[in-house]
């Protein structure tokens, strides 16, 4: 669908057009980053989320797209589609949630729109500026290393708690994703990284996006993947754990490349979030999981943001 739309729109190739986390456009002499995300109640929000959380999440997923390019977010416009059954106070709470994240990252909310719709719909566009080297899906080069911020499976662990009927954990990443803005900027400014993506669609599918856009093979060391401790602590077996780490999605961490372990070490020491080297960029194509001498091709599947459901093809 996105391919068909890109074709109809005659969108320029990324990063100037559709196909990366942000588009890089030129207004006058200035390059800027822009990205947009729409979230709808029936598809993207859980009924147990508070209105504040819905607002916070809508802001965060947009900010994460700027993070994945190594940019600094500057301004946002916010459109709210509001159903008849929502009260004024609910809408204010959504706005408060959006504003919290905007303030936290120094982003100004400069415009928006409010319209009557059948279900709650939050559409945000975020604009930002380049800070250094652009981090592109097409930027990976053979010889680089592959790394991720934070841990993988936090969103899945929380989802699994809720499935078991447990109370939601306050501040859990499932409803409160953390855009890795400062981490992206450090990578971009240092010049040691040339490719990044946020892994909301799952580690495997996100790696596939980089592999295809960069025409490289990615190899992931299965045992190096930093799986959320909460995941292993809840009786989830290791096959299931592997399935979740590769295919589940919902984590807003950055998967990125770097020139070397040494270079990354120097930059990572300035980050608040730990980073883990999980593999390497090689000549070839596809995404492989390796364990000892065994290599297995990872499937090109993950979370489908369109329907809010997993692609279990």
Contact positions toward a second copy, by CB under 8 A? 1-2, 4-5, 8-12, 16-18, 22-23, 25-32, 34-40, 42-44, 74-75, 77-81, 88, 91-92, 95-96, 98-99, 102-103, 108-119, 121, 123, 125, 127-129, 305-308
φ, ψ dihedrals at 266, nearest 5°: -60, -40
d(CA 67, CA 253) in angstroms, rounded, equals 10
Neighbours of 194 (CB within 10 A): 23
Smallest separation, CB 127 to a second copy (Å): 6
What's the closest the beta carbon of residue 41 comes to a second copy, in angstroms? 8
Tell the smallest beta-carbon distance from residue 171 to a second copy (Å).
21
Question: Token pair of 154, please?
Answer: 């936090």
In angstroms, the CA 48 to CA 27 distance is 42
With CA atoms as reference, report the closest residue to 207 among 239, 240, 247: 247
DSSP annotation of 132? S
Using the minimum distance from each CB to a second copy, give the nearer residue, 142 or 306: 306
CA-based nearest residue to 127, from 239, 22, 259, 242: 22
Q: Among residues 9 and 270, whose Cβ is nearest to a second copy?
A: 9
* Cβ proximity to a second copy, 42 vs 260, nearer residue: 42
Of the two residues 175 and 288, which places its CB atom closer to a second copy in the complex?
175
Q: Helices 88-104 and 51-67 sit at what angle, rounded to 10 degrees? A: 30
The pair of structure tokens assigned to 37 is 């995300």
Minimal distance in Å, beta carbon 189 to a second copy? 15
Structure token digits, residue 195: 């490719």
Nearer to a second copy, 44 or 301 (CB): 44
Residue 138's H or E segment, with its range, is none
- Cβ at position 208, least distance to a second copy in Å: 19
Closest to a second copy by CB, 129 vs 240, is 129
Q: How far is the CB of 178 from a second copy (least distance, A)?
A: 21
Centre a 10 Å sphere on the Cβ of residue 207 and count the other Cβ atoms it contains. 30
- Residue closer to a second copy, measured from CB, 128 or 153: 128
| DSSP class per residue in 181-222 | HHHHHHHHHHT----EEE-TT-HHHHHHHHHHHHT-EEEEEG
Burial grade of 168 (CB within 10 A; 0-12, 13-18, 19 or more): middle
* Least gap, CB of 78 to a second copy (angstroms): 7
Residue 244 CB, nearest distance to a second copy (Å)?
23
For the beta carbon of residue 156, count every other beta carbon within 10 angstroms: 27
What is the closest distance, in whole angstroms, from the C-beta atom of residue 126 to a second copy in the complex? 10
Looking at the Cβ atoms of 44 and 217, the one nearer to a second copy is 44
183: its two tokens? 């981490």
Closer to a second copy by Cβ: residue 67 or 275? 67
Q: How far apart are CA 19 and CA 3, in angstroms?
A: 9
């Amino acid at each position: 669908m996105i391919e068909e739309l890109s074709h109809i729109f005659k969108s320029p190739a990324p990063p100037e057009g559709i196909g990366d986390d942000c588009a890089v456009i030129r207004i006058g002499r200035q390059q800027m980053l822009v990205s947009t995300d729409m979230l709808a109640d029936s598809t993207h929000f859980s009924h147990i989320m508070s209105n504040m959380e819905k607002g916070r999440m809508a802001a965060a997923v947009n900010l994460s797209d700027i993070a994945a390019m190594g940019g600094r977010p500057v301004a946002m416009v916010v459109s709210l589609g509001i159903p008849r059954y929502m009260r004024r106070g609910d809408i204010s709470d959504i706005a408060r949630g959006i504003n919290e994240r905007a303030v936290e990252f120094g982003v100004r909310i400069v415009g928006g729109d409010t319209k009557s719709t059948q279900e709650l719909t939050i559409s945000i566009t975020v604009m930002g500026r380049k800070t250094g080297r652009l981090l592109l899906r097409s930027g990976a080069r053979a010889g680089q290393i592959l790394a991720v911020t934070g841990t993988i499976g936090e969103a899945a662990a929380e989802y699994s708690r809720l499935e078991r009927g447990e109370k939601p954990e306050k501040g859990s990443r499932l409803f409160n994703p953390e855009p890795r803005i400062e981490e992206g900027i450090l990578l971009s400014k240092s010049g040691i990284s040339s490719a990044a993506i946020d892994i909301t669609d799952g580690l495997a599918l996100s790696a596939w996006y980089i592999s295809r856009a960069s025409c490289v093979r990615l190899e992931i060391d299965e045992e190096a993947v930093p799986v959320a401790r909460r995941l292993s602590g809840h009786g989830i077996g290791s096959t299931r754990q592997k399935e979740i780490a590769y295919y589940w999605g919902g984590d807003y961490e950055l998967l990125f490349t770097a020139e070397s372990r040494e270079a990354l070490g120097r930059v990572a020491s300035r980050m608040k979030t730990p980073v883990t080297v999980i593999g390497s960029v090689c000549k070839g194509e596809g995404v492989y999981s390796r364990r000892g001498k065994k290599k297995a091709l990872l499937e090109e599947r993950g979370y489908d943001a369109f329907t809010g459901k997993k692609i279990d093809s």
